[in-house]
Structure 1
Amino acid sequence: MKVVDSAALLVRSVPYGESDLVATFFTETEGRVGAVLRGARRSTKRFGGTLEPIHELVVRLEDRGRELCVLKEARIARPRQGIVSSLAAMEGAGRALRWVRHLCPNRTPEPRVWHGLRDLLDALDASREGAGVGVLLVTFGLRLLAETGYALDFERCARCGKLCPPGRPAFVDAASGGLVCMNCGGARRTMGGELRAIAARLSNPRSTGTDASELAAVTDAHASELLLIIEEAMAAHTDFAG
């Protein structure tokens, strides 16, 4: 039997049987892991009210080689009360957690995704009244797609590799992996040159963060359009349904 001690985030919990819960955690060391919580519905004292999304947990899991581990202990290591007090931040955090649940494979460590998600939640926790939620989500979503093998290319045709000149509008098909040139059939959706440039910068994995000038360049309309493209890509490759 393997014992796992790890930082974790709760991404889902559902009732199981008469008194148990089945939880899905995204852990720092093991990636996405499912676990059964014995007696969690029968007694609120079982885990002391620690099993809430958004707050960073430390969990102890028993892995007996079955589909589900068994949760033995859990405690809150990093509360994020700033998120809890903002509806916009709560919705943004919940959206990011759903993305991770659908895109990250089971029991596969994803350290870059873990640190990116932690940074996103910390940024949402520190934001005033949920300011900047859209661009923070877009940045995380684009890089999550890249880390899980579904990167979107906003500079070249995803089919033939032809470079699209900077500043030009272009067709984009999220299911195909980004831009699609006219010679390759185009697509129903188009992106303006400014939006393409923003998307390319935000999806750049070499960038460690988003500075104030980057935030200022992304309007709510930009963020909304890019979030649609991101979630179209997720739906095309996984069971994510928005």
Structure 2
Amino acid sequence: MPVIRTPAIVCTVRRHGEHGAVVRVFTPDHGLQAGYVRGGRSTALRPVLMPANVVTAELRSRVNEQLASLTVELAASRAPYYTEPLAAAAFEWVTLLTAAVAPEDQPFPRLYAALSALLDLVCAAPSARWWVRAMVDYEALLLAELGFGLDLTRCAVTGGRTDLAYVSPRTARAVSLHAAGVYAEKLLPLPAFMTTDAEPDWEQLLQGFALTGHFIERQFFADRRADVLAARGLMIDRVKRIAV
């Protein structure tokens, strides 16, 4: 692998040995990358290697099968926002999710841009409602980018494009209010903001989380990685506390 020097978002940090760390970073042109950071657990580097921070990353490896050596320089710190429990939970979930499901060495420029914008919004939005909607959108985009996108363009039964109110938990396709009929209770509610510019209330935002969460769990975490979903549960619990 040639030397890669790139902007990157820190996603996960795992202790390796007495002083080092294996770090996964998400990059705009090279996708998810993993590398060993010498001294990654040191006092100097711990504030740099915080999930959601932006760094300039340099990866070097002699052979493709070898874990790359990674050095980092801090470009933008989001550490101050870790003092806010909801923001901290959002950082943890979205970076952990990205590191857990994105294939390594494959570029996802749209996903990188969306993740960067979402993290900025968590820091800057005057109300959590602004970035909660963006979080639902990011989860939906991630599903789409990895080949599991929701089809919310037309009714799976009638082919119509209006009155879409539900999603099939099996096919991920939208269903209109009229077509759902007696099966409505078996379908997932489709909040209007996911197909229009409608401004969502908290109930609709939580419906959005329920919708994307169903497919995230089914496609990526069936029988594995309960710790990742626990991070999502923590974030949603904190959202519910302010959803009044």
Q: How would you bin the TM-score normalised by the shorter chain?
A: 0.7 to 0.9
3-state DSSP of counterpart to 1:154: coil
Residue of structure 1 in register with 2:150 after alignment: 152
Q: Which residue number in structure 1 is paired with residue 90 of structure 2?
A: 92
Partner of 2:4: 4
- In structure 1, what residue type is equivalent to 2:30? E
Give deviations 1:203-242, integer Å, cap 9, x for gaps. xxxxxxxxxxx4x721111111111211221122223642
1:74 is aligned with what amino acid? V
C-alpha distance in 1, partners of 2:46/2:18? 19
Percent identical residues: 21
Which residue does the alignment assign to 1:66?
A: 65
TM-score (norm 1): 0.78
1:172/1:186 contact within 8 Å kept: no
CA distance in 1, matches of 2:132, 2:155: 26
Match of 2:136 in 1: 138
Provide the rounded CA distance (Å) in 2 between the counterparts of 1:140 and 1:122.
13
- Distance in 2 separating the partners of 1:59 and 1:156: 43
Aligned residue pairs: how many?
219
Unaligned 5+ runs, structure 2 = 230-244
| Local SS of the residue matching 2:128 | coil
For residues 1-242 of structure 1, the aligned pairs below 5 Å read 2-41=2-41, 43-45=42-44, 47=45, 49-64=47-62, 65-71=64-70, 73-80=71-78, 83-128=81-126, 130-156=128-154, 162-164=158-160, 166-173=162-169, 175-179=170-174, 188-191=186-189, 195=191, 197-201=192-196, 214=197, 217-239=199-221, 241=226, 242=229
Deviation at 1:69, TM superposition (A): 1.2
Q: 2:158 and 2:188 mapped to 1: Cα distance? A: 17
Amino acid at match of 1:167: D
For 1:23, the aligned partner's letter is V
CA contact (8 A) 2:48 2:77 kept: no
Aligned to 2:205, the other structure's residue is in SS state helix
Give the structure with the higher percent helix.
2
Distance 1:165 1:44 in 2: 56
Could you say if the C-alpha distance between residues 146 and 17 of structure 1 is closer, same or farther in structure 2, counting changes exceeding 3 Å?
A: same
CA contact (8 A) 1:86 1:129 kept: no
Moved over 4 A (4+): 180-183
Q: CA RMSD in A?
A: 2.8
| Contact kept in structure 1, 2:25 and 2:33, CA below 8 Å | yes
Contact 2:154 2:164 in 1 (8 A): no
| CA deviations over 1:45-82 (Å, ceiling 9, x no partner) | 4x3731111221111111331252111x2121122356
Is the 8 Å Cα contact of residues 3 and 62 (structure 1) preserved in structure 2? Answer: yes
1:48 to 1:155, Cα distance in 2 relative to 1, 3 A: closer
- Structure-2 residue corresponding to 1:207: none
More divergent stretch after superposition (123-132 vs 20-29): 123-132
Q: Is the 8 A contact 1:89 1:124 kept in 2?
A: yes
Q: TM-score, normalised by structure 2?
A: 0.77
Name the SS of the counterpart of 2:134 in structure 1.
helix
Contact 2:50–2:79 (Cα < 8 Å) also in 1: no
Give the Cα separation in 1 of the matches to 2:128 and 2:180. 40
